[in-house]
Structure 1
């Protein structure tokens, strides 16, 4: 087994993502820190942290990579009926702290969203790099949410939660349509799941993902503020 590089806090670098292990898929490096500069470099390089409280920081770049191209969002007939009812109101950056904590608290299988991770991504949020998307019911209760990283024309989804049926699916549709309108190339979903595949996500080779990232992560998107303006029904359809 190839020895994984240990990162220290004094030197800001990552190994080539193509050096990541096949088993476990995508494990690339260990250690380092969750500083803003290191996290920015990680996402720019197609790498993300994923670890639990009893582990050192683990850095990943899986192959293949699960992504959603915004124009490929799949709206099933049942979801279209839900969208037509306009039960949920979707917003951006209105409750980042609540969203990230609910993402941590509502995962039955446990969470990698440790207090250190919350602190690190909250700092990125204050710098305008990390963002939240919220779903509210008619009682103005927060019933769904997602947070992630926006860089250039790429959005890196980190985690989502749903407290009401269809809240996360409606949120995904609104986010995808908004990202498409803003000229984003892709939404990084990291690892494949049945839910994501049903929403239109698919896997692509890591080399293709890294190529798109290299082209897009430094391009300026077609918006200045993270404000979810897109509304259903889509006026262009």
Structure 2
């Protein structure tokens, strides 16, 4: 879904080409790797979905008046989460504050990243890299990012033709969110 206008508040967003982040192409910049190795943060999955989606909705975006995440989107994704079809990643500092994270859709072995936020430098990237490492351990080799943003590009994200993306999604198999995010 992608909000477009008051007349068409939700539209299906299926870009061509499609942005993906594949584990085999995952690039962890030196400063980010240093932050990951300092173990100053705890990363959890599916523990504070409501907080994460709200923080994504309220995130300040450069050169944008706000985000596309309105109350209708929050309600829809919250329902998907309750049904086991959405996930969240929380990055927590030593003071037990959620200072970064992301959320997305989880259908079988298909996962998308919908939005991220950070309150401390690199916090959303730490969440995304940790998610990719976890997914790799569970046999999930890519994350649908829809677009390749500067953050996704810095981590190795690439674009593939929509037709290739659809073929890859069709061959994903089926697993429950609980299985993918079990430790």
TM-score by structure 2 length? 0.91
1:158 aligns with 2:114: yes
Correspondent of 1:64 among 6, 17, 35: 17
2:125 match: secondary structure: helix
Structure 1 position 106 matched with structure 2 position 62:
no
Which of 1 and 2 has greater Rg? 1
Equivalent position to 1:142, from 79, 92, 98: 98
* Structure 1 unaligned blocks of 5 or more: 1-48, 230-237
Confirm whether residue 226 of structure 1 aligns to residue 181 of structure 2. yes
Distance in 2, matches of 1:53 and 1:175, equals: 32
TM-superposition CA deviations, 1:93-150 (whole Å, max 9, x none): 1110010011000133211111111111101111111110000010000100101011
Q: Is the 8 A contact 1:182 1:221 kept in 2?
A: no
- Whether 2:28 is the aligned partner of 1:75: answer yes
**Match in the other structure for 2:75:** 119
Cα distance 1:159–1:55, how it changes in 2: closer, same or farther (>3 A)?
A: farther
Q: Alignment partner of 1:161: what SS?
A: strand
Could you tell me which of 187, 191, 197 is aligned with 2:147? 191
Residue 80 of structure 1 deviates from its aligned partner by 1.3
Distance 1:150 1:222, change over 3 A: closer
- The counterpart of 1:174, out of the listed 115, 118, 130, is 130
For structure 2, the 5+ residue unaligned runs are none
Alignment of 1:90-101 (within 5 A): 90-101=43-54
Q: TM-score, with normalisation over the residues of structure 1?
A: 0.71
- Count of equivalent residues: 179
Q: Residues 100 and 52 (structure 1 numbering): CA distance in 2 closer, same or farther, change over 3 Å?
A: farther
Match of 2:6 among 54, 72, 79: 54
Would the alpha carbon gap of residues 225 and 213 (structure 1) be closer, same or farther in structure 2, given more than 3 Å must change? closer
- Please state how far the C-alpha of 1:163 moved relative to its aligned partner: 0.4
Higher relative contact order (CA 8 A, sep 6+): 2
CA RMSD of aligned residues (A): 1.7
| Distance in 2 separating the partners of 1:225 and 1:183 | 9
Q: 1:130 aligns with which of 83, 86, 103?
A: 86
Check conservation: 1:154, 1:185, Cα contact below 8 A: no
